[in-house]
Amino acid sequence: MSEVLRRRRTELGMSQADLAAAAGVDRRQIRRYEAGEQQPVLSVAVAIANALDLAVGELAGIPSHKVNLSGEWWASWQTSKDGEEVITLQQVRFRQQGDLINVETATRGIAVEDGGYHWRGELRLWDNEILMGWYAADDGSVRSKGTMYFVLHPHGQHMAGRWVGVSYDGKIVTGWGAMARGEQEATDVIAELKQQEAQR
């Protein structure tokens, strides 16, 4: 438990005082737990696990078998401008805490005049397989926002799905979406989704 507690607290950028305040215990107790000098009673363990966004079993060192999606990804989107299809590709960063993943763009992907913009959002992971969430433009004058739905590949290397939202071409617009660990893989997933659609 001491190792899990210390590692998770560090991952979240929390000090021992931050964790103590969030869990409602004395900072010295957190120090003792991390040093392995003491074990918290169940009610305190639950409070600490909640503050660290972990299950109590995970805090106790029982593996959760949860896929870790944190890191650099590439996102490819099927969208349109003035009725013409546009396929975009941009780098995004995932920061995962439990089942919640914060997503933020690192690049615009295409020029601003062609409709490129920065965005941020959240995805929630369900059963290590489905990701659902939202996105919103992070550039002042851009109104784009909407929802995302992805199915994760069994090995966690890419995900395929759809987005629905407000865009330059309308208030309810949708298209294919893909995210992958590699640039080419993200593009390939979009091409595969488009091909499957054409064959229906």
Q: Is-contact 47 24, C-beta < 8 A? A: yes
CATH assignment at residue 83: 2.40.128.120
If asked whether residues 76 and 53 sit together in one domain, one would say no
Instruction: Domain count for the chain, please give it.
Output: 2
If asked whether residues 142 and 174 sit together in one domain, one would say yes
Give me the pLDDT at residue 101, please. Answer: 94
If asked whether residues 95 and 182 sit together in one domain, one would say yes
Q: Which domain holds residue 120?
A: 71-198
Q: Which of 162, 165, 149 is nearest to 194 (CA)?
A: 162
pTM equals 0.69
On whether residue 82 sits in a domain, the answer given is yes
Cβ neighbours for 42, distance < 8 A, ≥ 6 positions apart: 56
On whether residue 64 sits in a domain, the answer given is no
CA distance linking residue 81 with residue 71, whole number of Å: 30
CATH assignment at residue 40: 1.10.260.40
CA distance linking residue 157 with residue 69, whole number of Å: 9
If asked whether residues 91 and 179 sit together in one domain, one would say yes
Q: Where are the alpha helices (DSSP H) in 24-78?
A: 27-35, 42-51, 56-59
Mind listing the pLDDT tens digit for each residue in 122-175? 999 998 899 999 999 988 778 889 999 999 998 888 999 999 998 877 789 999
If asked whether residues 184 and 104 sit together in one domain, one would say yes
If asked whether residues 137 and 189 sit together in one domain, one would say yes
On whether residue 109 sits in a domain, the answer given is yes
On whether residue 66 sits in a domain, the answer given is no
Mind listing the pLDDT tens digit for each residue in 24-53? 999 999 999 999 999 999 999 999 999 988
Q: Which of 180, 150, 179 is nearest to 164 (CA)?
A: 150
Position 64 confidence tier, pLDDT thresholds 50, 70, 90: low
